Amino acid sequence: MKEIENAEIPLKDGTRLAVRLWLPDDAARAPVPALLEYLPYRKRDGTRERDSLAHPWFAAHGYACARVDVRGSGESEGVLSDEYSQQELDDGVEVIAWLAAQRWCSGSVGMFGISWGGFNALQVAALRPPALKAIVTLCSTDDRYADDVHYWGGALLADYQLPWATTMLGYNARPPEPVVWGDGWLDEWRRRLDATPPFIAEWLAHQRRDAYWRHGSVCEDPSAIRCPVFLVGGWADAYRDAVFRLLGSLTVPRRGLVGPWAHAWPHFAEPGPRVGFLREAVRWWDRWLKDIPNGVEREPVLRSWLQDSVPPRGSYDERPGRWVVEDGWPSANIDTHELALGPGTAVLDPGSAEVPESAVELVPVQSHGVLGGRSCSYGTSYDLAVDQRADDAVAVCFDSEPLAERAFRGGDRKQRRWADIFRACEPGKLDANALRHSRAQATVHHQHVSHHHIGQMAGQEQHRADQHDEHGADQCGDLPPPSQHSQDVQRVHVRVPFRLTRVRGRQTHGPVSLA
């Protein structure tokens, strides 16, 4: 394998983007497909260690790999003005064309990335560059307004928007590497400091869904994506819902993988179990970039980790459970159940039963929710929700009768929106701990609730499992079906923190706000 520490990609406007390359030894004689990861996180220092693991592994399996700094970041010229700007996406199209034209490239290009790199992989794919044949997107979203770090349900996401804007301000304030840039590095640094805006000013200027947020939200037109898409998410990650939405909205060959993971690569992530993600990615690339008939397109559309009930903790090394698969999405194995709220009660599938009329008076306690974990978990200590009985004590709660049978919960937040807490228990006992299984919030000018639903009480028919080696890096295969033990929901417990002012039968009326 040949590594080129720093090369330049010339763009039409004269700007040059910095790229680090890994090439198979014989690529000049036998051209191979290229893989692009396109980020603002500085290839020379910010992601250097991570890049040095994944990219050489892909190169050893017959792919030319390119890690490109976005315009205005790292050693790339220009200014980084915002997330996912049209300039960034147009540059990405040019980068793909440049890669496809290199003598060591076969003309086929794949794009992959996690978080920012997963976002712009989807967004560039929607522009349909001819050489882009497939993408792999991890921990990303199709909806920049409703499902990112800025706003949820129209409510400002206070625990993430400002910290993330500050993080990017710090990244953008770093100088280009003098060893690479040369004598002009100081002048370039000063230009960047003067010209780079704080991203949060623009985010706060657009507090409702408008053209600013529709840009880059591929949910606006999923049909624009014409290449195969491999979607990866984790139950502990903020972006898990996008996997299910995109599986349902895309019309191209697609595949979803959802594990117990937080916001991290599946071969490193916690909670475990980890899987051999790199091998799964290579199988995807082999099929769509090399036309190797390995059967990927005939495999189940979705493979997900069905988690067993566990006591609430701020972090887990591993979540027990089993792998399950679905041949299509939306799944034929899913039922939607209506949940009617009454005075302190939650009636599942009430039918014609009368739910007593009642009024709920709320006195907000601003500390509510501090036990609910971060909006986007990285798997570190106290990222996740802990026992929330203290939150229950200052919230309006509704409890059902014990359920008659086990229920499996899956799907996206829209389908479970108003079921804020499911209290999960082992068979035969009612656990006093309150463990958050889902959450949502909305502002009054965005939502008025008419009916409450618990979405996705799902069963399954097939079981698959992933096998991984000691490091979870390069093995992923079938195992015998695991045990039949499943996640058990003994009683439904719904917590509505300072959202409902009145409950009348099945009708509820705002206001709805961030708790």
User: Which pLDDT score is estimated for 461?
Assistant: 27
User: Which pLDDT score is estimated for 447?
Assistant: 42
Residue with tokens 């495999």: 299
Q: Rounded to whole angstroms, how far apart are CA atoms 385 and 437?
A: 9
Q: Where are the alpha helices (DSSP H) in 250-348?
A: 277-289
- Write the DSSP symbol of residue 431: -
Q: Rounded to whole angstroms, how far apart are CA atoms 388 and 312?
A: 9
Q: What does each C-alpha distance from 16 to 47, 75, 77, 120 come to in angstroms?
A: 20, 9, 6, 19
- Tokens found for residue 43: 């290839």
Instruction: Answer whether 0.75 is exceeded by the pTM.
Output: yes
3-state class (DSSP) for residue 32: strand
Closest residue by Cα to residue 90 from 61, 123, 43: 123
Half-sphere exposure of 125 (CA within 13 A, CB side): 32
**Overall domain count for the chain:** 1
- Asked whether residue 266 is assigned to any structural domain, the reply reads no
- Asked whether residue 59 is assigned to any structural domain, the reply reads yes
Partners of 132 in the beta sheet?
109
User: Which pLDDT score is estimated for 369?
Assistant: 81
3-state class (DSSP) for residue 111: strand
Q: Rounded to whole angstroms, how far apart are CA atoms 166 and 199?
A: 8
Residue with tokens 């049978």: 405
User: Which pLDDT score is estimated for 463?
Assistant: 27
Contacts of 139 (CB under 8 A, 6+ apart): 114, 115, 118, 232, 233, 234, 237, 238, 239, 263, 264
Residue with tokens 């399996």: 61
Contacts of 416 (CB under 8 A, 6+ apart): 409, 438, 440, 453, 454, 455, 456
Residue with tokens 């009329």: 357
User: Which pLDDT score is estimated for 159?
Assistant: 86
Beta strands in 351-506 (DSSP E): 358-359, 396-402, 453-458, 491-496, 502-504
User: Which pLDDT score is estimated for 440?
Assistant: 56
3-state class (DSSP) for residue 248: helix
Question: pLDDT, tens digit, for every residue of 165-210?
Answer: 999 999 999 999 999 888 999 999 999 999 999 999 999 999 999 9
Angle between helix 86-101 and helix 116-125 axes, rounded to 10 deg = 80
Give every residue of the chain whose pLDDT is below 50, as ranges.
413-431, 444-491, 495-515
Question: pLDDT, tens digit, for every residue of 452-463?
Answer: 322 332 222 222
Q: Is residue 113 within 8 Å of residue 39, measured between CB atoms?
A: yes
Radius of gyration of the chain measured on its C-alpha atoms: 24
Q: Rounded to whole angstroms, how far apart are CA atoms 461 and 449?
A: 34
- Asked whether residue 103 is assigned to any structural domain, the reply reads yes
- Asked whether residue 263 is assigned to any structural domain, the reply reads no
Q: Residue 509 belongs to what H/E stretch?
A: strand 507-509
Q: Rounded to whole angstroms, how far apart are CA atoms 19 and 98?
A: 12
- Tokens found for residue 156: 């400002």
- Asked whether residue 183 is assigned to any structural domain, the reply reads yes
Q: Rounded to whole angstroms, how far apart are CA atoms 391 and 407?
A: 25
Q: What does each C-alpha distance from 1 to 36, 64, 170, 276, 473 come to in angstroms?
A: 17, 10, 34, 22, 19
User: Which pLDDT score is estimated for 399?
Assistant: 82
Backbone angles phi, psi at 95, to 5 degrees: -60, -45
Q: What does each C-alpha distance from 182 to 97, 177, 342 come to in angstroms?
A: 28, 8, 70
- Asked whether residue 121 is assigned to any structural domain, the reply reads yes
Residue with tokens 């599946």: 266
Q: Rounded to whole angstroms, how far apart are CA atoms 9 and 95?
A: 7
Q: Is residue 147 within 8 Å of residue 115, measured between CB atoms?
A: no
Other CB atoms within 10 Å distance of the CB of residue 244: 25
- Asked whether residue 333 is assigned to any structural domain, the reply reads no
Q: Is residue 116 within 8 Å of residue 216, measured between CB atoms?
A: no
Residue 15 belongs to domain with CATH number: 3.40.50.1820
Domain, as residue range, for 15:
2-138+155-207
On the 0-12 / 13-18 / 19+ scale of CB atoms within 10 A, 401 is: exposed
- Asked whether residue 480 is assigned to any structural domain, the reply reads no
